[in-house]
Copies of this chain bind each other. A is one copy, B any other.
Amino acid sequence: MQVSTLNRHGFTAGILPAQCPTRTVLDHVTSKWGVLVIVALSQQDLRWGELRRVVEGVSEKMLAQTLRTLEADGFVNRDAQPTIPPRVDYSLTERGRALAARLLPLMDWIADNADDILSR
């Protein structure tokens, strides 16, 4: 049985107390579009329009919202050039890359096993 650092946050009394900050971050990170944006940016920096195309199915509203959250949490950098028409580049911060490093193995595993999992 693994002993994870989660124990330091009170696992024994119930996993992650209900209003623990971890819950909030978890929600941000594992949000439907949040994961996909992080994964997309882990491969290369992208600008707004590219993200919209690459993260297939996301609406402008959701993309904007997701990016604002991820930026506020310090996972992505927003680099806006004040040109006309505007150009905005998004990239992962150091922290974003640390997160991606933990997220990608999970995504890889899911991608590898998804067909199996659903075919039952």
The residues of A with any CB-CB pair to B shorter than 8 Å are 1-2, 4-6, 8-9, 11, 14-18, 20-22, 24-27, 29-32, 35-36, 39-40, 42-44, 53-57, 72-74, 95, 98-99, 102-115, 117-118, 120
Q: A1-B44, A102-B109 are in contact. Are A120 and B72 (CB under 8 A)?
A: yes
Tell me the bound Cα distance from A114 to B17 in angstroms.
13
Chain B residue at smallest Cβ distance from A29: B110
Q: A74-B120, A108-B6 are in contact. Are A114 and B55 (CB under 8 A)?
A: no
> Dominant SS at the A interface?
helix
Identical chains in the assembly: 2
Are B107's CB and A4's CB within 8 A?
A: yes
